[in-house]
Structure 1
């Protein structure tokens, strides 16, 4: 598969992300010089508690006193985040107008549409772009150079459904009939698998599968391999499914039991084999 975004797991750019990067790079020069004039809160910044926790690996033991913060449901952790956010808001209070002006100014320098060149895969040409007035991109394709363009996936529609969207990975089947992708609807980096029939434009009804990390298609176009995470968010298991089924017959084909290793799955460059 040679379509750039379909081969990447990274989050696609949005208008806000481009602006945030620009503002963050500028803020160092802009704000350091005016630190003395900021309305710094009188209270000291919050400091997280330390809980002794030893980790031993390869004969070496190290301490991680902040290990407890991995449990994002911990009431102490949630309270710490609230106090930290309150402190940050108070610290940056007198820069609100400046930040808003910077955002507006930089936005005028960014094209209203962000478009990637078409990339050919077989007889199809794929591209990704952010339409004017939209926050998220569309993945589109056309058959040949003059075919009518089709929307394969619209991030904006998914964002309207969930109020947020983060697409983890996309994979088009070798016969171009299906799109398998993972979506994080809550911002917790826990992705669920969805499969779209590109001929009908509808999602394939399936049992919900969460904690999916990577995807790889077999040559037949209906067999899909995917990896899932354990309770520590470690990709540890490879599962195979028939995308034309409801998912009840999904089969585990490999499990990595050593917690120091993760499992990833991909296809060889010629597309003939899946490997993990």
Structure 2
């Protein structure tokens, strides 16, 4: 037990926290974990035949020797691959002008002999010569930065422990920015490391005083500015540093205001500012770099369109969002006289968005698309013609026939009259007479929307006669930030009521029956 602010808190499970974590050596803790595992194995023993079949099914749908579609960044094409039986990626590149494939990072080799391995930040220098990356090989969620010369293949002596952030190179590639984790596993700082120097001498460019905020580093699309962002879940504040002068005094875009979030990108000397300052569905403003706090509205907020992001390119900018809960991608020219073009997707319920588009001057955009019946698909979208070129469709080695399944988007009325969207997938011969089982999933927290995407594991349920539904309940931002706010704090009960009411509505509409519905939510869900 402990006492704080005059209140004594008793935790009967405190003994389960090994003081040496992430290394667990306490014999009582290890004995308890062994007992839990033994109990699980005993309960599941009668179902071993089924679990073995399910495992074989799910594994048979995974293409183990898979690779991503190469994407150009500067003078190189980059991609990743998995080998059969491998758990980790290999990172590759080759010259755009032609040449041999070069393995630039082998996660399998880095993970060899380790009980745990995770790759964090991965950043190639602007000239393509150096790779800075971060690894966690003990599960502590504190990463170690390393640097590799991609020409010689040799590691540089620069090693930085305790990092928890992205990595952003300076314009001259002589150094990079990053952040260290504090004792609470929060990143409250942004630091500059010059190659070849002792990390103890790194320059702290920014320090956040509010323990509820976290600091991140990124860069604008043209790579001319480094962005220092500090924020909690409801308030943000951004600073800009010239990538060519990282020791310059950071320029505050606009001082923090409680409840206001914003992010920025750049086109020339114009800031593109995406903010919820006047409406929870966000709007787009612009400002000149010389007066970053003087915002001028460029795209007003919309009741039905939730603007989730803005990305600037040389000849156009992209507005991402959701209209009535469905993903939309709009291409806007800098000339306001040219009408924006919206990319049209074919299905009633889907998950779509920009893919990896690393260059500022692009005329063809990489997109990702999937639905509850359509496997993950990568496209190249020609901005000039509007043409979509299919680059890759997720391969399912054991076979997949989309015609065997159907997907719909429903609306079910909650007890307070609010219509809650529901994405559902089911076998093509599914009778809506209450005779079949249904699995219902929801999250509803932290403003995180659950996309109606594809899942190979889910097919094992569908092929046994189940329907599978996702309830887009309040607490997520599926229908906008207000949808998130309406499931938060004093309105948190809406999240649970929506989930219950969707389940009852699915029963009432004949999708399943009482006693034949399973529900699940994970983490904060």
Q: Distance in 2 between matches of 1:54 and 1:97?
A: 52
* Distance apart, 1:71 and its partner CA: 5.4
Whether the aligned pair in 1 keeps the contact of 2:129 and 2:151 (CA below 8 Å) is yes
Matched with 2:464 is: none
* Distance apart, 1:144 and its partner CA: 0.9
103 and 70 in structure 1: CA distance in 2 versus 1, 3 angstrom threshold: same
Matched with 2:372 is: none
Q: Distance in 1 between matches of 2:83 and 2:147?
A: 24
Whether the aligned pair in 2 keeps the contact of 1:222 and 1:244 (CA below 8 Å) is no
Unaligned runs of 5+ in 2: 21-25, 229-525
103 and 206 in structure 1: CA distance in 2 versus 1, 3 angstrom threshold: same
Q: Distance in 1 between matches of 2:114 and 2:177?
A: 26
Matched with 1:103 is: 55
SS at match of 1:73: coil
Whether the aligned pair in 1 keeps the contact of 2:76 and 2:93 (CA below 8 Å) is yes
Q: TM-score, normalised by structure 1?
A: 0.69
Match of 2:136 among 178, 184, 198: 184
* Distance apart, 1:130 and its partner CA: 0.7
270 and 136 in structure 1: CA distance in 2 versus 1, 3 angstrom threshold: same
Whether the aligned pair in 2 keeps the contact of 1:152 and 1:198 (CA below 8 Å) is yes
* Distance apart, 1:215 and its partner CA: 1.4
Unaligned runs of 5+ in 1: 1-50, 56-60
Matched with 2:197 is: 245
How big is each residue's C-alpha offset from its partner over 1:242-268, in whole Å with a ceiling of 9 and x where there is no partner? Answer: 123353432222111210101011111
Matched with 1:229 is: 181
Matched with 1:47 is: none
Whether the aligned pair in 2 keeps the contact of 1:173 and 1:217 (CA below 8 Å) is yes
Indicate the structure with greater helix content.
Answer: 1
248 and 117 in structure 1: CA distance in 2 versus 1, 3 angstrom threshold: same
1:160 equivalent to 2:112? Answer: yes
Q: Distance in 1 between matches of 2:175 and 2:205?
A: 13
Q: With CA pairs under 8 Å and 6+ residues apart, which has the higher RCO, 1 or 2?
A: 1
More displaced, 97-106 or 153-162? 97-106
* Distance apart, 1:103 and its partner CA: 2.0
Q: Distance in 2 between matches of 1:112 and 1:93?
A: 28
Of structures 1 and 2, the larger Rg is shown by 2
Q: Distance in 2 between matches of 1:64 and 1:214?
A: 38
Matched with 1:73 is: 19
Q: Distance in 2 between matches of 1:220 and 1:161?
A: 37
Whether the aligned pair in 2 keeps the contact of 1:166 and 1:184 (CA below 8 Å) is yes
161 and 246 in structure 1: CA distance in 2 versus 1, 3 angstrom threshold: farther
* Distance apart, 1:230 and its partner CA: 0.6
Q: How does 1:92-241 map to 2 (within 5 A)?
A: 92-144=44-96, 146-241=98-193
How big is each residue's C-alpha offset from its partner over 1:75-96, in whole Å with a ceiling of 9 and x where there is no partner? Answer: 6876765554444333333334
How big is each residue's C-alpha offset from its partner over 1:54-102, in whole Å with a ceiling of 9 and x where there is no partner? Answer: 79xxxxx9x9969969955386876765554444333333334432332
RMSD (Å), alpha carbons: 3.0
* Distance apart, 1:106 and its partner CA: 2.6
184 and 174 in structure 1: CA distance in 2 versus 1, 3 angstrom threshold: same
Whether the aligned pair in 2 keeps the contact of 1:53 and 1:65 (CA below 8 Å) is no
Q: How does 1:250-269 map to 2 (within 5 A)?
A: 250-269=202-221
Whether the aligned pair in 2 keeps the contact of 1:158 and 1:164 (CA below 8 Å) is no
